[in-house]
Amino acid sequence: MGINLRQNKNESSSGYGNYYPEVDRQKTLSLRGFAEHIESHGSLIQRDVIEAVLNKIVVCLPELVAQGVPVQLGSLGTFYPTAKVVKGAGVPGIAEMEGLNPDTIVQGIRLRFKPDASKLDNLCGPAFKKNCSLELRNIVDTEVVTIDGKTRKVQVLTPIASAVAKWKAEHPDPSSGSGNGGNTGGNTGGNTGGNTGGNTNEPESVAAPTISGTTPFTETTQVSITGPEDARVYYTTDGTTPTSGSTLYTAAFTLSATTTVKAVAIKEGNSSSVTTKTFTKAAGGGNGGDDPFAG
């Protein structure tokens, strides 16, 4: 599970300036995709039957909850209803309850889900975390951009490794500088002759590939990668570092969602540095969840 970090920009908050974690949610799996996933686990029931059962659950579960009946799905948890109160519509006393129309005080009914918290099947908080393998991925930010003459808010993802490397480059370690200064004289004279002849067998450096494509984009964007001559280029789109075991680039490909593309060029067994580029789809909205930025 990917974990992104978002900076608290609420100046009235005690956590102002800090970065807080949020889940890097992937593309939502459709009901059919869920049925195919169940079938892939060696189910004796075919995908179309599984999908039909899931569709029936989708219809019947809200029907029961709408009658005030909580529905428990085994060790997964329970779906239940709660009432959202109309603002300022509290009933002051028993005398006002006679002939009261509930529609005047209930703004809406929320369908809630409570994960199972039993000792055996605990799907709450720290217990469920044990089922997840966490990986830090991106810093999340929101920027205002102009696309086709329209101003929009878009979500921008910056790989954390890239942000850390940039910060280090802008904030060099003073102690590292002073140490190198002290060794300048000795290294200049003592290593000149030895390095001249001794390092001739070092592998030739490989130029890093170039990633091209439009960002931000509205619907889709075409991504192309160019590498040095005679080198093979490998890339990833899931935030992981590419290797010779990753996808081999052979032709341009299309993205339809915000994606971080990483690429590496490999020539005669030597690897280039990794090139990273994030393609952002112009669509608002965050990941939701608990808001640590509230004042």
pLDDT of residue 204: 58
pLDDT digits (tens, 9 = 90+) for 207-264: 999 999 998 888 889 999 999 988 999 999 988 999 988 999 999 999 988 899 999 9
Give a yes or no: residue 158 inside a domain.
yes
CATH label of the domain that carries residue 140 = 2.60.40
Give a yes or no: residue 4 inside a domain.
no
Give a yes or no: residue 36 inside a domain.
no
Q: How far apart are CA 255 and CA 219, in angstroms?
A: 9
Instruction: Report CA-CA distances (Å) from 170 to 140, 165, 166, 178, 193.
Output: 20, 9, 6, 17, 34
Tally of domains in the chain: 1
By CB atoms closer than 10 A (0-12, 13-18, 19+), residue 137 is buried
pTM of the complete model: 0.51
Give a yes or no: residue 115 inside a domain.
no
Q: Which domain holds residue 236?
A: 134-173+206-285
Give a yes or no: residue 267 inside a domain.
yes
Give a yes or no: residue 268 inside a domain.
yes
Give a yes or no: residue 169 inside a domain.
yes
pLDDT digits (tens, 9 = 90+) for 121-134: 777 777 778 878 88
Q: How far apart are CA 193 and CA 180, in angstroms?
A: 20
Give a yes or no: residue 279 inside a domain.
yes
The answer to whether the CB of 215 falls within 8 A of the CB of 247 is: no
